[in-house]
Amino acid sequence: MKYLYVVLYVVLLCALFSCKTNQITKKESLIPPQNRVVLRDEAYFKARYELWIPTEHDVQQALQDIHRFLKISEVNKTFSSHFRSEVKKIIMNMSLYRVQLVGIIFNNRRYIHCNFIHRDSPVTDWKHRLIMATGGGFWYWYVYYDAETKEVVRIYINGCT
């Protein structure tokens, strides 16, 4: 009987660990790798900042932290109701975005500019040039992510003030 409890305990631990692993995998696939691009020599930012190349780990960490930030922002009453409703749309469409990433150095700190473009956008050359949209609401938004503190330092959703 004692061994049965040990076996059940081990099976329970394996099941819990398996669930945790699946959650991480789910997070990692929010924006699949084929829908991401690191713009290594981006002219707009290169004219203003020193550039650096984020690693796959940096990109994955940024996307996870951005998603966590969005989930918190969706219910944060200090943000306007319009902003929160746009964040809710972003979260609902998260797997439908393409993201451009540019590593910039500002005041000796490493940031990642994360530019999100909805998959149904008519933009086709998003892997080759920075897309700068002036409208479109939750279809186009960007984040400045501090790669050292692992925090979103700025978010801009087109159409939200």
- What pLDDT, in 10s, does the model give residues 54-69? 999 999 999 999 999 9
pLDDT exceeding 90 applies to what percent of the chain? 69
Determine the longest span between alpha carbons in the chain, in angstroms.
Answer: 71
pLDDT on residue 11: 34
Residue 26 has pLDDT above 70, yes or no: no
d(CA 151, CA 68): 10
Query: The pTM is what?
Result: 0.80
Can you name the residues that pair with 152 across neighbouring β-strands?
145
Neighbouring C-beta atoms of residue 144, cutoff 10 Å? 16
pLDDT on residue 161: 56
**Ramachandran bin of 78, using left for φ above 0, alpha for ψ from -120 to 50, beta for the remaining angles:** alpha
Beta strand segments in the chain, E: 36-38, 50-52, 97-106, 109-118, 140-146, 151-157
Q: Which of 2-6, 110-114, 149-153 has the lowest mean pLDDT?
A: 2-6
pLDDT on residue 15: 37
How confident is the model over 127-159, as pLDDT tens digits? 999 999 888 889 999 999 999 999 999 999 987
Tokens (6 digits) for 129: 């040039």
In CATH terms, 32-157 corresponds, of 3.10.50, 3.10.450, 1.10.730, 3.30.200, to: 3.10.450
pLDDT on residue 21: 34
Name the amino acid, one letter, at 47: A
Report the b/e string of 40-67 with b at 16+ CB within 10 A.
eebeebeeebeebebeeebbbbbbebbb
